[in-house]
Amino acid sequence: MRAVEITSFGPPDVLRLGERPQPVAGAGEVLIRVNASGINRPDVVQRQGHYAPPPGASDLPGLEVAGVVQGGDAMAMERAGLRLGGRVCALVAGGGYAEWCVAPVEQCLPVPQGLTDIEAASLPETFFTVWSNVFDRGRLQRGETLLVQGGGSGIGVTAIQLGRAFGATVIVTAGSDEKCAACLALGAHHAINYNTQDFVEATLAATNKKGADVILDMVGGKYFERNIAALAIEGRLSLIALLGGRDAKIDLGLVLRKRLTVVGSVLRAPGFGKGRRRRIAPPRDLAADRCRQDQARDRFDIPARRRRQGPCAHGNERPCRQDRADDLTRGHRQAFEMADQRSALFGVAAMMALEKCLPALPPCVGRKIRKTARDEGRVGVAFGADAAIGFGPGVLCTGRGCGSAESQGRA
């Protein structure tokens, strides 16, 4: 099969179109005939030698693909609702820059209706990243304020749309007035040019001095202390990249006084792509626990505190604290059900958001966020990723996205 290889670390010239053996799908995986592959900044960093793939992953760049299912684990595919010949887009740990790629079944999604393969290939990495870090770890709620550092990037344009679709007020930073205007047209409520404005002061002004409830940051470094200052009380900072460096100064007293939460993640962490999922323990039957505790007190003649008087709803002869236990049980079950729903990655929720927010956007940045680049013979369309590439008959075509692909270097 044809594949784009990194012959050595360095500038874009180190990329070569070569031949590789076709991969074989293992247990819980599908084999995809790749029609398009997303281009993201991690691919650029890998090409430069600073972002090695995890053990066991392909050394080929490419974290997201779109194409047709040609084989794989039949039982896993049936459970996931996938079929041979079906169009899918998928998030992978590497190997996307090739004509064939294997992907875990649970990281595959049907291509949304109306999207081309090139558009679909730019969905998984950005939507997964935003959902995981803004909604799952950042716990963004309707009515809260989201500050996105780098609103013109692939992650940024996705965060704008998802934040807006889920009822949040979205503030973004960008490096030029042109990018700020594009972010506003895309749905952001406020856009800050970080070259001419202090984003901390601008954020506080836009929120009536409250601050942002959630900040999605890709800069790190000197931005860290300023992000802490821009957060609201009980705010959450979600850090996903370190473009500004890994060393930061921080006022820990401010973290304590504001009761802040700081979380971080990387896409290709150890164990990525191995089917590892965070599991939430089932809620305990608190009512039954209370009854057993009361029975133990009766048996060993232990005085109970604030025991409710009256018959036990479970039929025990001696009374127990049933009313409060039932209330606690209902509350815990509701909390766990919500947590399960929020941990469902970006599948249904992201697609619902996509269908909800895109039709209302202006044509220039609307439903397909179309950007056609004709310079240097490059043609393509990008939705959320920094760019996308397509494998056609004898032609390798690429397209650049809305935000920072050029400023971060071409893959």
Cβ-proximal residues to 354 (8 Å cutoff; 6+ apart), any chain: 112, 123, 161
Q: Tell me which H or E stretch contains 390.
A: strand 387-392
Is residue 276 in a domain? no
146 and 117 in a single domain? The answer is no
Res. 402 pLDDT band, cuts 50 70 90: very low
Q: How far from 312 is each of 160, 235, 305, 321, CA to CA, in Å?
A: 52, 43, 16, 8
The closest alpha carbon to 229, from 217, 212, 246, 243, belongs to 212
Report yes or no on 133 lying in a domain.
no
Joined together, the tokens standing for residue 277 give 């999922």
Range of the domain at 181: 138-264
Domain membership flag for residue 302: yes
Report the alpha-carbon distance of residue 226 to residue 249 in Å, rounded: 9
With 50 as the cut, is the pLDDT of residue 5 above it?
Answer: yes
Q: Higher confidence at residue 277 or residue 147? A: 147
pLDDT tens per residue, range 92-121 = 999 999 999 999 999 999 999 999 999 999
pTM of the model: 0.66
**Torsion sign over Cα 117, 132, 333, 285:** positive
For residue 272, the model assigns a pLDDT of: 45
Q: Please report, rounded to a whole number, the percentage of residues in the chain having pLDDT higher than 90.
A: 57
Tens of pLDDT, residues 329-353: 455 455 444 444 444 444 444 444 4
Whether 16 has a pLDDT exceeding 70, the answer reads yes
- Same domain for 142 and 122: no
Place of tokens 């993640």: 265
Residue 291's pLDDT band, with cuts at 50, 70 and 90, is low
Phi, psi (degrees; rounded to nearest 5) at 328: -65, -40
pLDDT of the residue at 324? 47
Q: Is 378 exposed, middle or buried (0-12, 13-18, 19+ CB in 10 A)?
A: middle
Residue 202 lies in a domain: yes
8 A C-beta contact, residue 110 and residue 86: yes
User: How many domains in the chain?
Assistant: 3
Asked whether residue 337 falls in the same domain as residue 369, the answer is no
On whether both 246 and 334 belong to a single domain, the answer is no
| 238 shares a domain with 310 | no
> Of 189, 151, 150, nearest to 169 (Cα)?
189
Instruction: Using alpha carbons only, give the angle 339, 325, 305 rounded to the nearest 5 degrees.
Output: 135
Examine the domain organization and report whether 333 and 368 are in the same domain: no
Q: Does 275 fall in a domain?
A: no
Q: Return the structure tokens found at 408.
A: 């971060």
Q: What tens digit of pLDDT does each residue of 191-232 get? A: 999 999 999 999 999 999 999 999 999 999 999 999 999 999
Give the number of other Cβ atoms within 10 Å of residue 279's Cβ.
8
